[in-house]
Amino acid sequence: MRPEPLVLGFDTSAAHCAAALLLGDRVLAEMTEEMTRGQAERLFPILEQVLSMGGHAWSDLDAIGVGIGPGNFTGIRISVSAARGLSLSLGVPAVGVSGFDALAYGTEEPVLTSIDGRRDQVYLQQTGAEPFQAHLDELPSDLSHTGLTVIGHGAERLAAHTGGTIAAPAAPVAVAIAAIAGARAASGQVARPAPLYLRAADAAPAADQPPKILT
Amino acid sequence: MSDTLTILGLESSCDDTAAAVVRHTPGQSPEILATVVAGQTELHAAYGGVVPEIAARAHAEKLDICVEQALDRAGVALRDMDAIAVTAGPGLIGGVMSGVMCAKGLAVGANRPLIGVNHLAGHALTPRLVDTVAFPYLMLLVSGGHCQFLLVHAPDEFTRLGGTIDDAPGEAFDKTARILGLPQPGGPSVEAAAKSGDPRRFALPRPLLNQEGCNMSFSGLKTAVLRARDALVADQGGITEQDRADLCAGFQAAVCDVLAEKTRRALATYLAHNPATPTIAVAGGVAANQAIRGALETVCDANGVAFTAPPLNLCTDNAAMIAWAGIERIRTGAAYDDLTLMARPRWPLDQSSPSMLGSGKKGAKA
């Protein structure tokens, strides 16, 4: 990989289509459209536009960065599926970047990042720890850290709970994803991107019991 | 330049993730260079049916791997493809969307054209992939999610003569298996149990049999099986192996009778078109059932009409049929799709006949 990789990053894990083209740390082009539906139809036209705004073609790319969530299940799959297809056709790595890593990008640790999980639920990650899901009214007591920065959904309540300081993300989501992906791709082999759901599929085992078989 | 087309197909509309490469030169038989199907039966086994979210999760992480395998087995590169064909509906939207997005990524990266294919057209055109069947032919598409009679006039021209107004037969087989404590998928297990059963012991209904036209209903049949089982359980505390075999045989016979009678009627409409080589084709997983196949063949023999059924691996969901439908569409001069190609949960093949099933915001299902 070149010392300054050309990376296209994108994300549809929430109500937006976000894309950014980075050469090393330099943002060549960036675009975000807010939308609650239609990401599957808009994503590729937006990616093509960002590439052309940055003066590059698909074949110039060194890596793909993709947001893997957590967030909207369908939204996450839209981007992850696109990234996997692109990785195969372009012969470049696709790197999955979590929404937590994108929020924490460029902020000094320790950071508590939070993503909207709907109905007062949040997805949380403390720097270096496993992500989890929690209700905003039932937050775990061990979240406090000296010098903690809180970023993301429900930050005010999380800051009040932990005594941390609220901050905005240091970079737009797609910029952060592209930057992190570029660094990871340069450091070696990466696994195929996979969605980070943090929530099981909503499915109940069949309720009806089979009849007793008489012998 | 040769007229040979080599197409990559992707399919992910239900619980099979599939990729295939098909090549065709005009005047020659099409050639399936590779076909890969990754099923999900075990993922859904505990739920007694396909769970859309579980299916979508699996597709998203399997599609590109299936594509790699198919290209590898075919010994071709993505850039050698003349186009990439993908199921764009109808089906479970999460899976369809994953397929469409993966295909868009493949197409732009390899700089190849993209073509969105109707999953039902894939099934309906399969007879021409495996056999020399001329238009127009009569198609009975009978699977876990669909049941309809189609007059296939051309790769992009279908007339629906009728179909189920509720469950598809495959669904009824699965539910019957569950009611009787047989393993999923229900088709093979009900068929196996029926072999040692007496189809006349239980009087099960033949819904809509005496109603005009080619419409069918299978939901009441499954309920009748449930009632018969409950009566046995109330009586003797459970059901015996023989009870189960008899119920399976009775259920299967009812499905056969309905399909055979409705096929007779569809055939009458079809023959009025004076086809040069009258042919009935079946496709869909239920077409694998030997009793049903036998009943349909009897109808064909009695009417002097040829019967064709693709091999089982091309009857059930696969991507070779999607690649082939793509080839057929390209040959008719159809335009390629652009990157705004939409995944559609509902997409009736015959858009001119009045809708039969489903309505509202999502539109007609069939």
Residue % of chain B over a pLDDT of 70 = 96
**A208 in reach of chain B (CB within 8 A):** yes
> Taking residues B330-346, what's their average pLDDT?
94
Same domain, A126 and A74: no
Do residues A12 and A74 lie in contact, with contact meaning Cβ atoms separated by under 8 Å? no
Same domain, A146 and A122: yes
- Which CATH number goes with the domain that contains A46? 3.30.420.40
Dihedral sign of CA atoms B226, B229, B234, B238 in order: negative
Q: Within a domain: residue A202?
A: no
**Contacts of residue A72, Cβ cutoff 8 Å, sequence gap at least 6:** A12, A13, A14, A15
Q: Inter-chain contact B341–A43, Cβ cutoff 8 Å?
A: no
* pLDDT score, position A202: 83
Same domain, A25 and A76: yes
End-to-end CA distance of chain A: 68
Q: Within a domain: residue A180?
A: yes
> Taking residues B313-333, what's their average pLDDT?
96
Q: How far is the alpha carbon of A142 from chain B, nearest alpha carbon, in Å?
A: 32
Q: What is the pLDDT of residues B237-247, one digit of tens each?
A: 999 999 999 99
- DSSP assignment of B54-116 equals HHHHHHHHHHHHHHHHHHHHHT--GGG-SEEEEEEESS-HHHHHHHHHHHHHHHHHHT--EEE
Q: Within a domain: residue A74?
A: yes
CA-based nearest residue in chain B for residue A45: B339
* pLDDT score, position B46: 80
> Over A136-177, what HEC string results?
CCCCCHHHCCCCCEEEECCHHHHHHHHCCEECCCCCCHHHHH
Q: What is the pLDDT of residues A140-191, one digit of tens each?
A: 988 888 899 999 999 999 999 999 999 999 999 999 999 999 999 998 889 9
- Tokens describing residue A83: 């990234």
The neighbour count for residue A16, using CB atoms within 10 Å, is 18
Within 13 Å of residue A192, how many CA atoms lie on the same side as its CB? Answer: 19
Q: Within a domain: residue A195?
A: no
Q: Within a domain: residue A199?
A: no
Do residues B47 and A205 lie in contact, with contact meaning Cβ atoms separated by under 8 Å? yes
Q: Inter-chain contact B97–A88, Cβ cutoff 8 Å?
A: no
- What predicted TM-score, i.e. pTM, was given to this entire model? 0.94
Within 13 Å of residue A153, how many CA atoms lie on the same side as its CB? Answer: 21
Q: Inter-chain contact A202–B342, Cβ cutoff 8 Å?
A: no
Q: Identify the residue among B102, B239, B241, B244 best suited for mutation to test binding to A, counting A beta carbons within 10 A and taking the highest.
A: B102
Number of independent structural domains in chain A: 2
Rounded CA-CA distance A10/A17 in Å is 7
Do residues A95 and A185 lie in contact, with contact meaning Cβ atoms separated by under 8 Å? yes
Rounded CA-CA distance A108/A105 in Å is 8
**A87 in reach of chain B (CB within 8 A):** yes
Q: What is the pLDDT of residues A80-138, one digit of tens each?
A: 999 999 999 999 999 999 999 999 999 999 999 999 999 999 999 999 899 999 999 99
Size of interface A-B (CB pairs under 8 A): 151
Same domain, A40 and A146: no
Q: Within a domain: residue A204?
A: no
Q: Identify the residue among B104, B175, B233, B341 best suited for mutation to test binding to A, counting A beta carbons within 10 A and taking the highest.
A: B104
Provide the residue type at B330 as one letter: I
Q: How far is the alpha carbon of A111 from chain B, nearest alpha carbon, in Å?
A: 30
Do residues A108 and A124 lie in contact, with contact meaning Cβ atoms separated by under 8 Å? no
Q: Within a domain: residue A194?
A: no
Q: What is the pLDDT of residues B247-300, one digit of tens each?
A: 999 999 999 999 999 999 999 999 999 999 999 999 988 998 999 999 999 999
- Tokens describing residue A31: 């675009």
Q: How far is the alpha carbon of A1 from chain B, nearest alpha carbon, in Å?
A: 18
Q: How far is the alpha carbon of B50 from chain A, nearest alpha carbon, in Å?
A: 10
Same domain, A41 and A119: no
Same domain, A123 and A179: no
C-alpha distances (whole Å) from B167 to each of A183, B9, B43 are: 52, 28, 22
Helix, strand or coil for residue A53? Answer: helix
B1 or A98, which is more confident = A98
Q: How far is the alpha carbon of A86 from chain B, nearest alpha carbon, in Å?
A: 4
Q: What is the pLDDT of residues A196-214, one digit of tens each?
A: 999 999 887 777 788 999 8
Same domain, A95 and A127: no
CA nearest neighbour of B325 among B147, B139, B76: B139
Q: How far is the alpha carbon of A129 from chain B, nearest alpha carbon, in Å?
A: 25
> Taking residues B325-341, what's their average pLDDT?
96
Q: Within a domain: residue A116?
A: yes
- Tokens describing residue B153: 């006039």
Q: What is the pLDDT of residues B138-172, one digit of tens each?
A: 999 998 888 999 999 999 999 999 999 999 999 99
Same domain, A151 and A183: no
ω into A131 cis (within 30 of 0): no
Task: Tell me the backbone φ, ψ of residue A59, rounded to 5 degrees.
Answer: -70, -10
Helix, strand or coil for residue A101? Answer: helix
Rounded CA-CA distance B51/A205 in Å is 10
Same domain, A28 and A84: yes
**A52 in reach of chain B (CB within 8 A):** no
- Chain B residues with CB under 8 Å of A86 CB are 105-106, 108-109
Helix (H) / strand (E) element for B17: namely strand B16-24
Rounded CA-CA distance B327/B217 in Å is 34
Please say if the pLDDT value at position B364 is more than 80. Answer: no
Q: Inter-chain contact B57–A201, Cβ cutoff 8 Å?
A: yes
**A206 in reach of chain B (CB within 8 A):** yes
Q: How confident is the model at residue B357 (pLDDT cuts 50, 70, 90)?
A: low
Same domain, A73 and A115: no
Strand-pair category, B137-142 with B279-283: parallel
Provide the residue type at B252 as one letter: Q
CA-based radius of gyration for chain A? 19
C-alpha distances (whole Å) from A190 to each of A25, A179, A181, B174 are: 20, 15, 10, 41
CA nearest neighbour of B148 among B128, B118, B174: B118
The alpha carbon of B130 is separated from its chain's Cα centroid by a whole number of angstroms, namely 16
The alpha carbon of B25 is separated from its chain's Cα centroid by a whole number of angstroms, namely 26
Q: Inter-chain contact A44–B237, Cβ cutoff 8 Å?
A: no
Helix ranges, chain B (H): 41-44, 52-74, 93-110, 119-130, 169-179, 186-194, 219-236, 241-271, 290-303, 312-315, 320-331
Beta strands in chain A (DSSP E): 6-11, 16-23, 26-34, 63-67, 94-97, 111-116, 121-126, 132-135, 149-152, 165-166, 213-214
Boundaries of domain holding A114:
109-162
Same domain, A96 and A114: no
C-alpha distances (whole Å) from A174 to each of A31, A169, B308, B316, B324 are: 8, 12, 53, 40, 38
Same domain, A83 and A23: yes
Please say if the pLDDT value at position B1 is more than 50. Answer: no
Do residues B59 and B17 lie in contact, with contact meaning Cβ atoms separated by under 8 Å? yes
Rounded CA-CA distance A120/B6 in Å is 51
The neighbour count for residue B26, using CB atoms within 10 Å, is 9
Rounded CA-CA distance A89/B54 in Å is 26
**A77 in reach of chain B (CB within 8 A):** yes
